Amino acid sequence: MRLLHCWSFLSLVALIPQATYASVLAIDYGNDWIKASLMKPGIPFDVLLNKDSKRKIQSVVAWKKNDRLFGSDAFNLAARFPSDSFQSVKLLDAAPFDSEVVQYYTKISTATVVETPRKTVALKQSDGTEWSAEELIAMQFAYVKQLAETLAEEKVRDVIVTVPPYYSQFERDAIADAIEIAGLRTLALINDGTAVAINYAMTRTFSVPEYHIIYDAGASSIRATVVSFTTATDPKTSISGTHLAVTGVGYDRTTGGVELDRRLRDILIEAFNAKHKKDVRQDKRGMAKLWKESQRVKAILSANNDATATVESVAWDLDFRTKVSRSSFEDACEDLKPRYAQPIHDALKNAGLTLDNITSVILTGGSTRTPMVQNAVRAAVGDDKIALNVNADEAAVLGAALHGASLSRQFKTKNIKVTDIIAHDIQASYFAAATTSNSRPRSITTLIFPAGSKVGTKKTLTFKRKEDFAIYLDYKNSVAPGFPTRMLEAELIGVTEAIGNLTERGATDPVVKATLTLSESGFVSVTDAIAFGEIKDDSITGKLKGLFGKGSSSSEEATESAENTPPRDTDTTSSTSSANATPSAEPEKKAAPVENTIPLNISISFTTIPPMTVDEKKIARGRLRAIDAEEAAKYRKEEARNTFESYLYRLRDLLDDDNNDTPFKKCSQESERKEIAEKLDDSFQWLFDRGDLTETSQLLDKRIALETLERPIVHRYQEIEAFPQALNNSQMWNWSTRLFLTEARQNLTAEATADLPSKWTKEELDALEKTLKEHETWLATWVEKQKSVKPNEDPVIETTEMKARAKVLETHLQKLWKRKVPKVKKVKPTSTSAEPEPTNGAGEEQAEGESIEDPSAGEDKQVPLKEPEEEKTHDEL
């Protein structure tokens, strides 16, 4: 659904001055396609177009020798350069090298996979150059950034990117690293189902609460998101808005469009091998061609029962042609059918709802166009629940763009409050303090953020510890086969010294408090740690406070009272397996008084799949900048060569034209044309011989040499064209000045006779007349000389000089013309009689600018007259 009509619902009125407007870029990064949207005042809210004016970009980056290509250009190179064309890189996002997804990638791609020093995946080009998955994704983000900056005509920095809701912290870190390498700044990561829900709510209101399922069948996976929509009014601001809350998520990481493509390609492979008795799997180009053909055939089978696959020279110069039926394709995917709708059931279970609570199931994602997927969903939820009221390709990116605009605080958007959740259980563990020197440390585990926890929340753990210790953050279960569960380790440093200081201050039973944060983008970390202790106040005020506050117990007292309770399951948030290390999950409270609190240092380390370090990102960014600089230099060279070549052909056409009445022939001499022709032949020969090896500066020098020969001819033609207008302008000022002098001298005589002041003096008018005569004499002399000049000869009088001399006369004239009339001052007459005569009697004029006495006031009170209005003048004659 195109959303250009949504301006009535979406107001992009910036909240800051125009000079500080900023743009927000939204990217829906899919396994097969990238969609982007730019939010900027003055630009319609819509999907960003690529250089071919397409609304989506294929998620491919490829090299053709030394040329890097993106989108469809890169996708079309896969059959020619299979080792240098990289697609479906999203599958490798933060994947350990020995994980199942990497093994699966080698089955669908012809690219060479290598291991990085971080134990993740890189892809190798045919020349041996290796690129990590983060770098390849960053290249695609940088390409989208370039498109956005071209449209915005300014730098674009902030970006919001969609990710699947099941993405782990490892994968989110990898996306954030790719964003930074691309020269962008992460505004937020948003789950794609949530983004679609925002897009759905953009133009709708909900009189009663509604539950909808966002069913997103993409290329890499299937996701189902249960979302509640309510419309409520904020009692504080009286502003009505939509509250969007995710209540459940279900997913299948391995069932998507890529798996359908793989199985369809297997059908084509078997058909080829059976026909030609050769295994096409041994030919990378053949496999790349069949992969491309399988995607085309799948699209045809979505609307037809049969499709014909045709590929020329698949391998070994053998052409391939076969017929594929929809039934055979569906038979090959028979085992997948139960998995198409399973995410819906999982999401409902996690939300604690049934289908009776659901208003509709909104289909989005490219694979929802596949009939077998649609049929499976219809069978699971009923045909009446199916909704096709969002754009399956663009809903996610447009919803992400709207959310990004609201987060940037620089736009005023529709009031949509979003509450999202996480899909995995996150727990914290640590080693209990040893009770004796020979005792073995016990590991205590606490479930901090269960699956379904809201993002943007914090939890505080309280520990009775007297020495430094570490907190380990883990997923309770592996997020994907081959992925580790350990996310990070946070070591709390300075505990011993801090506890000792609090004890010296009089604190009783000091504890350590650690704050764990689950950010809006789904990142979890230990963000704050303090040592805290209650210090006894012996003053009278403190004793009274203690007397009246004795009935309430602090959180530390509650923790202490739980010491002797038997330990429960290590997965509970109130685990108390050790008397020396007793955590309790509790909401974050107001900061304690400074004297009761000592901050602790936190050292974060990653022991499994670490995100890229600052130095690694700096190196990666440098590699991308080097490629960008090289491509920019290559582009400038190509532009210079194309411009130079077209210039040579234009000159050749001017010289070869048989018509002698052309401006070029009229304004040039035979010797000049001969010299240009010789230089032109040399330039053509040089361009053909050395054009591919030359530098940009040499191309420019060659062009400048030819332009130097052509410039006199061009100048003559330009002077001939401009001369009539310049002459007319000069004559106009002569005539206007002569007219002004005639009238000015007449006025000067009349004003002198009437004894009135004049705007000009005789000397000023004489000086203007002298300037006029000098200009008229110069103009007449040189215009007469110019008449004898031929078109192919240099002019004796330049139009620039004519304009400059006319400007002198114009300035002199305007200076006198705009002068104001001097004010007439009349001296107030003095009276010798006892009673003053009125000075403004009938028939007597009063001078402007003077004041008269008010008879009703005292002798000292005067009423000022109005100032005279200034004489209106014209800026032009």
Site of tokens 């901090």: 448
DSSP for 121-184? EEEE-TTS-EEEHHHHHHHHHHHHHHHHHHHHTS---EEEEEE-TT--HHHHHHHHHHHHHTT-
* Cα–Cα distance for residue pair 1/47, rounded to 1 Å: 11
* Cα–Cα distance for residue pair 223/231, rounded to 1 Å: 26
* Cα–Cα distance for residue pair 104/87, rounded to 1 Å: 14
Site of tokens 């295994």: 279
- Give the per-residue pLDDT at 396: 94
- Give the per-residue pLDDT at 861: 38
Consecutive 10-residue averages of pLDDT for the chain (877 residues): 36 38 87 93 87 90 91 89 93 94 93 94 94 96 94 91 95 96 94 94 89 94 95 76 93 92 93 89 90 92 91 88 92 92 95 94 92 92 90 92 85 85 94 74 90 94 91 94 94 92 87 94 94 72 48 34 32 34 47 71 92 94 93 89 90 84 88 90 89 86 91 91 93 93 89 84 90 92 90 90 93 88 64 47 39 38 37 36
Task: Return the sign of the alpha-carbon dihedral for residues 165, 166, 167, 169.
Answer: positive
DSSP letter assigned to residue 590:
P
Beta-ladder partners of 540 = none
Q: Which two tokens stand for residue 68?
A: 């890097």
Of 498, 487, 437, residue with least CA distance to 463: 498
* Cα–Cα distance for residue pair 374/562, rounded to 1 Å: 55
- Give the per-residue pLDDT at 3: 36
Q: Where are the beta strands (DSSP E) in 282-376?
A: 306-315, 318-325, 360-364
Three-state SS at 63 = strand
* Cα–Cα distance for residue pair 563/577, rounded to 1 Å: 9
DSSP for 175-208? HHHHHHHTT-EEEEEEEHHHHHHHHHHTT---SS
For residue 618, the surrounding DSSP H or E stretch is helix 614-656
Beta-ladder partners of 259 = none
For 53: left if phi > 0, alpha if psi spans -120 to 50, otherwise beta; the answer is left
Residue 248, classified by CB atoms within 10 Å of its CB into exposed (0-12), middle (13-18) or buried (19+), is buried
For residue 434, the surrounding DSSP H or E stretch is none
- Give the per-residue pLDDT at 689: 86
* Cα–Cα distance for residue pair 441/421, rounded to 1 Å: 34
CA distances from 359 to 22, 229, 350, 356, 382 (A): 38, 10, 17, 8, 12
Of 370, 32, 396, residue with least CA distance to 219: 32
HSE, side-chain direction, 13 A CA sphere, residue 730: 28
Of 72, 33, 67, residue with least CA distance to 51: 72
* Cα–Cα distance for residue pair 498/488, rounded to 1 Å: 24
Beta-ladder partners of 132 = 122
User: What Rg do the C-alpha atoms of the chain give, in angstroms?
Assistant: 41
* Cα–Cα distance for residue pair 338/664, rounded to 1 Å: 78
Of 477, 494, 496, residue with least CA distance to 486: 477
Mapping DSSP onto H, E and C, the string for 260-303 reads HHHHHHHHHHHHHHHHHCCCHHHCHHHHHHHHHHHHHHHHHHCC
Max intra-chain CA distance, the chain = 138
Contact between 448 and 585 under an 8 Å Cβ cutoff? The reply is: yes
Q: Which two tokens stand for residue 424?
A: 């995995």
Q: Which two tokens stand for residue 694?
A: 């030359």
Angle made by CA atoms 650, 652, 655, in degrees to the nearest 5 = 115
* Cα–Cα distance for residue pair 144/27, rounded to 1 Å: 8
For residue 587, the surrounding DSSP H or E stretch is none
Three-state SS at 231 = strand
Q: How many helices (H) and strands (E) does the chain have?
A: 20, 32
Residue 377, classified by CB atoms within 10 Å of its CB into exposed (0-12), middle (13-18) or buried (19+), is buried
Task: Give phi and psi for 295, each to the nearest 5.
Answer: -65, -40
Q: What is the dihedral of CA 803, 808, 809, 814, to 10 degrees?
A: 110
Q: Tell me the pairing of strands 158-163 and 24-29.
A: parallel
Buried b (16+ CB within 10 A) or exposed e, 726-760: bbebbeebbebbeebbeebeeebeeeeeeeeebbb
Contact between 341 and 323 under an 8 Å Cβ cutoff? The reply is: no
- Give the per-residue pLDDT at 757: 83
Angle made by CA atoms 557, 558, 560, in degrees to the nearest 5 = 65
Q: Tell me the pairing of strands 222-233 and 210-217.
A: antiparallel
* Cα–Cα distance for residue pair 39/17, rounded to 1 Å: 16
Q: Tell me the pairing of strands 306-315 and 507-518.
A: unpaired
Strands of the sheet containing 457-463, edge to edge, are 457-463, 507-518, 524-535, 597-599
Which residue type, as a one-letter code, is found at position 430? Y
Terminal C-alpha separation, the chain = 59
Residue 97, classified by CB atoms within 10 Å of its CB into exposed (0-12), middle (13-18) or buried (19+), is middle
Of 128, 223, 102, 250, residue with least CA distance to 609: 102
What's the length of the chain? 877
* Cα–Cα distance for residue pair 394/48, rounded to 1 Å: 10
For residue 336, the surrounding DSSP H or E stretch is none
> Given 3-state DSSP classes, what are the helix, strand and coil percentages for the chain, each rounded to the nearest 5?
45, 20, 35
